[in-house]
């Protein structure tokens, strides 16, 4: 089966919540591979090295995902309750700021991983567990 046919098959068999959940978990997993090393790096040059090894691209993808989600939430035809939409838009704005801060060399990858996983759990109908302490 070609990649295009495979992607089309996924779109036809998965509902949007499952697709969003899968994307969030994939991005969280990719960020998590670098989170501890990045957030505990002692200097800027070490963080820049980790960013250049793929974390920057993953963070950019995280920004794109949350930006698309924010646009969907702002659509007047979105059927989620207004309070939930507003809270998720606020969270999307935070994720975008935090992702850009990390790209700029600040700590905070673990917080992004935790956020993506918590939202993915919500999409799966699960209650997220307690948050681990993040630095």
- Helix (H), strand (E), coil (C) string for 76-130: CCCCCCHHHHHHHHHHHHHHHHHHHHHHCCCCCHHHHHHHHHHHHHHHCCCCCCC
pLDDT at 10: 54
Answering whether pTM is above 0.75, one says: yes
% pLDDT > 90, the chain: 76
- Non-local (6+) Cβ contacts of 60 within 8 A are 99, 103
pLDDT at 17: 87
pLDDT band for 124, please (50, 70, 90 cuts).
Answer: confident
Better pLDDT: 7 or 86 = 86
């Amino acid at each position: 089966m070609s990649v295009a046919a495979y992607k089309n098959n996924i779109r036809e068999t998965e509902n949007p919540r499952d697709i969003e959940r899968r994307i969030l978990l994939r991005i969280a997993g990719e960020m998590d591979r670098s989170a501890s090393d990045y957030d505990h790096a002692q200097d800027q040059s070490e963080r820049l090295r980790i960013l250049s090894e793929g974390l920057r691209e993953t963070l950019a993808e995280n920004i794109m995902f949350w930006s698309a989600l924010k646009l969907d939430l702002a659509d007047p035809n979105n059927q989620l309750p207004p309070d939930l939409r507003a809270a998720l838009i606020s969270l999307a704005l935070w994720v975008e700021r935090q992702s850009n801060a990390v790209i700029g060399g600040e700590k905070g990858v673990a917080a992004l991983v935790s956020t993506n996983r918590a939202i993915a759990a919500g999409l799966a109908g699960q209650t997220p567990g307690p948050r681990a302490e993040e630095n």
